[in-house]
Chains A and B, each alone.
Chain A
Amino acid sequence: MPGQVLDAVQKAKAGAKAYCTNFFPVESKLQSWIDHGELFAEWQDGAVFFFRTDRDFRHFYFCADRAALEQGMMSSTGLKAGAVTTDLVGNNATLNQLLTAFEPAGFRRYTQLQRLARIGCPETGGDAPDAGFAEKADVPAVQGLIENSFDRYGEQLPLPYEIEFAVEYRQVLVVKRNGKLAGLLFFETQGLASSVRFWAVAENFRGQRVGSALMQHYFRTQAAVRRFTLWVDAHNENAIQKYRHYGYAPDGLIDHVLANRMITS
């Protein structure tokens, strides 16, 4: 139950001198992970660890006193049981100290994401007649394009049921040409804030203004939003440049993704 998970987090916080965590669960998402049998907890002295199963690996979350985190990671059975990723979000100054705690536990830096943000909705150009919300029948193609375009270890790709949910709640825009999925834009909007999770154009359709049609349609459908954010691979200059074109700029938040030795790519 989400309540039990949140209670465990509270206990870890209450006993901590220097509390640290990478676990910021939204209750609905937490419930979904529990319903799908994806979330496992492991108690350590002064810490609680959570593992979320994702395809062929698990993602590691911690709620712990800093000293308990270091000790707990060394004795954790969950961390030794297979391929594991984790991520640390913050600014560089605060993260560098924490990163040193993960090396003895077998983690290495895998990739780095940076958050970009823009304020307010831009004026959008002409119509994008072939951009629209995805339908249930599009789910397999949406999943295929996401899997082919992004790194499953570094970018927390959605599972099929999460894509179905997003499609149902009109959070996936697509462009289809000749009956094929040419591109997609997967987003989450909460009140006045919206975040692009994935924006991709299929290889055969690049250079045909599919990406711009999606982005323009996205802004048009989210006209009430005041703050737009997204995470992007910090080394993907091409993607960053495209987002800059739409007014996004770094806001100082960094996400260091770490992987253990079982992940070699």
Chain B
Amino acid sequence: MKSVLEILKEIRPEFDFTASRDFITDGLLDSFDMVTLVAALDKNFGISIPGTDIVPENFQDLLTIEALLAKSGAKL
């Protein structure tokens, strides 16, 4: 199983996600990337992230994404 950071790097290899505190404000992820990321997270962790949770505040940084995964039933 891949880590969240590995998945992010696959989607946007040009960015250093460890150096950002806010992926959205820093321009590392846009709304289209969020949809792509959700599909990759669902597949990787065998979960289904609800549409209601696909909002920018859940994709701000690694911690918020991991919290979203935990809430959606992923085993991290």
A119 touches which of B14, B26, B31, B51 (Cβ 8 Å): B14
Q: Known contacts A24-B31, A227-B12, A227-B15: does B25 contact A16 (CB below 8 Å)?
A: no
- Bound-complex Cα distance A190 to B52 (A): 25
Tell whether, in the assembled complex, residue B26 and residue A191 are in contact, meaning their CB atoms are under 8 Å apart: yes
1/0 per position for A1-27, CB-CB distance to B under 8 A?
000000000100110100100001000
Tell whether, in the assembled complex, residue A227 and residue B51 are in contact, meaning their CB atoms are under 8 Å apart: no
Q: Which A residue's beta carbon lies closest to that of B22? A: A191
Q: Is A253 an interface residue (CB 8 A)?
A: yes
Main secondary structure of the interface of B (DSSP, over half): loop
Tell whether, in the assembled complex, residue B27 and residue A10 are in contact, meaning their CB atoms are under 8 Å apart: no
B25, B26, B51 interface centre (most CB from chain A within 10 Å):
B51
Q: Which B residue's beta carbon lies closest to that of A23? A: B31
1/0 per position for B19-40, CB-CB distance to A under 8 A?
0000001111011100100000
Q: Is A193 an interface residue (CB 8 A)?
A: yes
- A 78-108 contacts with B by CB, 8 A: 89-90
Tell whether, in the assembled complex, residue A16 and residue B28 are in contact, meaning their CB atoms are under 8 Å apart: no
Q: How many A-B contacts are there with CB distance less than 8 Å? A: 38
Is the interface on chain A under 10, 10 to 19, 20 to 34, or 35 or more residues? 20 to 34
- Bound-complex Cα distance A19 to B32 (A): 15
A193 touches which of B27, B35, B50 (Cβ 8 Å): B27
Q: Which A residue's beta carbon lies closest to that of B34? A: A24
Least distance between A1 CB and chain B CB atoms (Å): 17
Tell whether, in the assembled complex, residue B52 and residue A191 are in contact, meaning their CB atoms are under 8 Å apart: no
Q: What are 15 A-to-B residue pairs whose CB atoms are below 8 Å?
A: A10-B52, A13-B50, A14-B52, A24-B31, A24-B32, A90-B35, A120-B14, A190-B27, A190-B30, A191-B27, A191-B28, A193-B27, A226-B14, A226-B15, A227-B14
A-side residues, CB < 8 A to B, are 10, 13-14, 16, 19, 24, 89-90, 119-120, 189-194, 225-227, 253
